[in-house]
Structure 1
Amino acid sequence: MLSWRMVRGARIGAMGRWLLVVAAAGGTGMLLLSALGWALGHAQPGASAEVRLVWCAVPVAMTVQVAAMVGLAQPLGWPGSGLAGVGLGRKATLLIGAAGTALACALGSALALLLFLYLRGDLGGVPYTGSAAGVLGAGHRLPAAGAGTLLAVVPLGAAAAVAARVWQPPAPAPGAGPAGLPWGVALTAVGLAVQVAAPHGDALPLPSGLGSVSAATVAGWVVASAGMVVAGPGLVFLCGRLLALHRPGALRLLSGRALQQEARRIGRPLGLLCATATATLAAYDLQHGSGHRLGPLTTFAAALVGVCVLAVAGTALVEVASARGRSVAALRDIGASPALLRGALALRTGVVLAVAVPLTAVVAAFATVPATR
């Protein structure tokens, strides 16, 4: 309970991040339970229930990412000297953070189960009869083992993601650049090539009646998205190197050095944002071509994924701003003007956007080829 005692006395920002984890886990739990309810409410669920469960993997992965990032941010912000004084080292603090993360996700899953049972009418009320009544499976016995297994996916996955940090190698020297840019570019190119060459198929129906895609198309999208995430830190570091080239002034030097130092923190969230943007553009192209409207569960899942992605990016930016506090104070002590600091921030943001937006547009254009040809 050490982590939760520290959360109780933390600032509103830390408590807000934990509440976001609880809400994300609850939303993902509702999606998983809806797939189970659909299978219960239909006599022959067949592939439909399986496909619904497969598409739940995207919000599950994003919820685990958010929970792991928040769970890692908490022990890294603890006073290390005080914890070392009571015999808690790096591994112990990370394991405590993993336990706290699992507890937060379990709380969200429990709230999702209570809401699902209430809508089904199992808690003494009247079953919900709205447009989403088909996913509740009202009138059918809810298998406790199946519901418990589905709801345990997010807490166990988040705890494992935080605990895996124990076995990661130590961080490299501050001046060393990320080594993932070539691998990220290669993965993105391979994923796009697979998507372009993938034939039309009906192996995996899309939600809300948007059509069907082949398994190769989905595999190519996963590989390309992973490549963009892997290439993010190297791309940010390269932007910083380019800014600081050829006799830079104070503005370019500050901006370039800051990007190189922060590349590992903001690179992967930036790649995740780009991958989400490409998927959003591809989904919009599919919806525009088919003329179907998104259903309530699909809209909810898309909103949940978007909130999780923005939360990951926002948490990374908050960590970067906190780590930059001492450097900003030192610059002010030597006479740096507030206008210079604001200009450096604007220049960093502009350069990253000038590189990330066109690359995202190009990847999105190739990603929509299987749906438009």
Structure 2
Amino acid sequence: MLALRLARGTHPLVLTRRLLVAAAAAGVGFLLLCTLGYAVGHPERSSTSALRLLWCVLPLAATVQFAVAVARTDPSTRPRPGLSAVGLGPARLTAIAAASTAVACTLGSVVALLFYLHLRGDITGLPFDGAAAELLAADQPIPLAAALTLLAVLPVVAATAAGLALRPRTAPAPPEGAETTMPSGLPWGVALVAIGLAIETYAARGGAGSGLPLPGRFDGNPAGVLAGWVLTAAGLALAGPGLAHGCGRLLQAVRPGATRLLAGRVLMDEARRIGRPLGVVSAVLSGTFAAASVYDADTGSDAFGPLTGLGAALILACTTATLLTAALESRQGRAHTTEALLRIGAPPTVLRTAALLRAGALLAVFLPLTWAVAELAALPLTG
């Protein structure tokens, strides 16, 4: 109840972010229900139904990541002086954040269920009722318990992830005068990228892997190729903070001025916060470019159906929104530093120039990396 009252009094921008989470949850719920409908309509293809359900894990994970990022930037769950005296300590605020995330995802799941029943023709009296009856197996009854179980997965997982991400923790204070240390995931991320590309190359050249049918006529891809891409994506996400930290170091190299020093230090401090979502976006874009190049080369392939397109759009939209939300969180985290710099007379143009330098450094590193991984991923498939 307290989470609902806080939601009613929130800023419109915060409420918009929660509604975006609900919209993403609705898309994931619709994909899950379509997978259930396929399983009901084709009971003899149980393995295909299981693989279709496996495909839904990717947009579900992207939506959970976005929901956690939105929960981290929610001002109503930020510890403030005086709240502990009325029983709203860090643990209670974490519970409120998890409950707010569950409410948003549950709203999206309900919308998905209503839209699914409407397209099946079970709910009439509205435009397009029964428009996808054949695709959604309208001639077969949908098991209600199975549908509700699938729809409950995202709210439970997202609320749990938000609670774990925002749980109270005590971090040791850094030594006085220390510099920021580079994140330790860069070597492991590079190793995962190399392993993923090697597995993808082996699976594509072997040609004997089992097919991985995805929603919407995407049936010709060996399962090993997808496994290799998942490892490559995980490697880019793991290496992202280290690469962002390295960008900050490069900005401060070779006799930097005040602006480059400021840009580099801020980027090093924010490397862990924005590096991982930036690595995930790089992985998604590289996979998109690789898929586009593969199916441009095969003009006779009709690979992408509506549900595959919906899943890919959800992954791309949620990962991009997560990156923008992380950038907003970084801006909120350095608000006091910005105010202090303005109070001592720093020109606003210096802050804007430093922001442009940070963005330019990240683009200069991650855009070529994304292109290189996409080319390497597509090479064994097109060759």
Could you say whether these structures have the same fold, taking a TM-score greater than 0.5 normalized by the shorter chain as the test?
A: yes
Q: Letter of the 1:157 partner, please give it.
A: V
Aligned ranges for residues 345-356 of structure 1 at < 5 Å?
345-356=355-366
Q: Letter of the 2:23 partner, please give it.
A: A
Secondary structure at 2:270 match in 1: helix
- Confirm or deny: 8 A CA contact 1:25 1:109 kept in the other structure: yes
Aligned ranges for residues 333-348 of structure 1 at < 5 Å?
333-348=343-358
Measured after TM superposition, the shift of residue 185 of structure 1 is 1.4
Measured after TM superposition, the shift of residue 77 of structure 1 is 4.8
Aligned residue in 1 for 2:280? 272
Aligned ranges for residues 123-202 of structure 1 at < 5 Å?
123-125=123-125, 128=129, 130=131, 132-165=132-165, 166=167, 170=171, 173=174, 175-198=180-203, 199-200=206-207, 201-202=209-210
Q: Which whole-Å CA distance do the structure 1 matches of 2:15 and 2:144 have between them? A: 31
Q: Letter of the 2:273 partner, please give it.
A: R
Q: Which whole-Å CA distance do the structure 1 matches of 2:54 and 2:337 have between them? A: 46
% identical equivalent positions: 46
Aligned ranges for residues 2-151 of structure 1 at < 5 Å?
2-42=2-42, 44-74=44-74, 77-125=77-125, 128=129, 130=131, 132-151=132-151
- Confirm or deny: 8 A CA contact 1:41 1:135 kept in the other structure: no
Q: Which whole-Å CA distance do the structure 2 matches of 1:184 and 1:281 have between them? A: 20
- Confirm or deny: 8 A CA contact 2:281 2:316 kept in the other structure: no
Structure 1 residues 169 and 222: CA distance shift in structure 2, 3 A? farther
1:259 aligned to 2:286? no
Measured after TM superposition, the shift of residue 290 of structure 1 is 3.0
Q: Which whole-Å CA distance do the structure 2 matches of 1:171 and 1:287 have between them? A: 51
Measured after TM superposition, the shift of residue 261 of structure 1 is 1.1
Q: Which whole-Å CA distance do the structure 2 matches of 1:343 and 1:100 have between them? A: 37
Q: Kindly report structure 1 stretches of 4+ aligned residues shifted beyond 6 Å.
A: none
The superposition leaves residues 34-77 of structure 1 with CA deviations (integer Å, 9 ceiling, x where unpaired) of: 11112223464444333322211111111111112222332685
The superposition leaves residues 171-222 of structure 1 with CA deviations (integer Å, 9 ceiling, x where unpaired) of: 8748333221122112112212221222223431355434523232222111
Q: Which whole-Å CA distance do the structure 2 matches of 1:125 and 1:141 have between them? A: 20
Aligned residue in 2 for 1:318? 328
Q: Letter of the 1:280 partner, please give it.
A: T
The superposition leaves residues 240-274 of structure 1 with CA deviations (integer Å, 9 ceiling, x where unpaired) of: 11211233111210110110111111111110110
Q: Which moved more, 1:221-230 or 1:90-99?
A: 90-99
Q: Which moved more, 1:158-167 or 1:216-225?
A: 158-167
Q: Letter of the 2:22 partner, please give it.
A: V
Q: Letter of the 1:120 partner, please give it.
A: R
Secondary structure at 1:140 match in 2: coil
2:211 aligned residue (169, 181, 203): 203
Q: Which whole-Å CA distance do the structure 1 matches of 2:139 and 2:45 have between them? A: 16
Q: Letter of the 1:235 partner, please give it.
A: L
Q: Which moved more, 1:355-364 or 1:88-97?
A: 88-97
Secondary structure at 1:81 match in 2: coil
- Confirm or deny: 8 A CA contact 2:72 2:329 kept in the other structure: no
Q: Which whole-Å CA distance do the structure 1 matches of 2:104 and 2:186 have between them? A: 34
Measured after TM superposition, the shift of residue 299 of structure 1 is 1.9
Structure 1 residues 120 and 347: CA distance shift in structure 2, 3 A? same
Q: CA-atom RMSD, angstroms?
A: 2.3
Give the helix-richer structure, 1 or 2. 1
Secondary structure at 2:142 match in 1: coil
Q: Which whole-Å CA distance do the structure 1 matches of 2:154 and 2:323 have between them? A: 20
Aligned residue in 1 for 2:241? 233
- Confirm or deny: 8 A CA contact 1:41 1:137 kept in the other structure: yes
Q: Which whole-Å CA distance do the structure 2 matches of 1:193 and 1:235 have between them? A: 22
Aligned residue in 2 for 1:287? 295
1:249 aligned to 2:257? yes
Aligned residue in 1 for 2:368? 358
- Confirm or deny: 8 A CA contact 1:59 1:305 kept in the other structure: yes
Structure 1 residues 357 and 60: CA distance shift in structure 2, 3 A? same
| TM-score (normalised: structure 2) | 0.90
Structure 2 unmatched runs, 5+: none
Aligned residue in 1 for 2:379? 369
Structure 1 residues 43 and 176: CA distance shift in structure 2, 3 A? closer
Q: Which whole-Å CA distance do the structure 2 matches of 1:239 and 1:66 have between them? A: 25
Structure 1 residues 122 and 116: CA distance shift in structure 2, 3 A? same
Q: Which whole-Å CA distance do the structure 1 matches of 2:359 and 2:35 have between them? A: 41
Measured after TM superposition, the shift of residue 327 of structure 1 is 1.9
Structure 1 residues 304 and 91: CA distance shift in structure 2, 3 A? same
Secondary structure at 2:87 match in 1: coil
Aligned residue in 2 for 1:214? 222
Q: Which whole-Å CA distance do the structure 2 matches of 1:11 and 1:296 have between them? A: 35
Structure 1 residues 238 and 169: CA distance shift in structure 2, 3 A? farther
Measured after TM superposition, the shift of residue 124 of structure 1 is 4.3
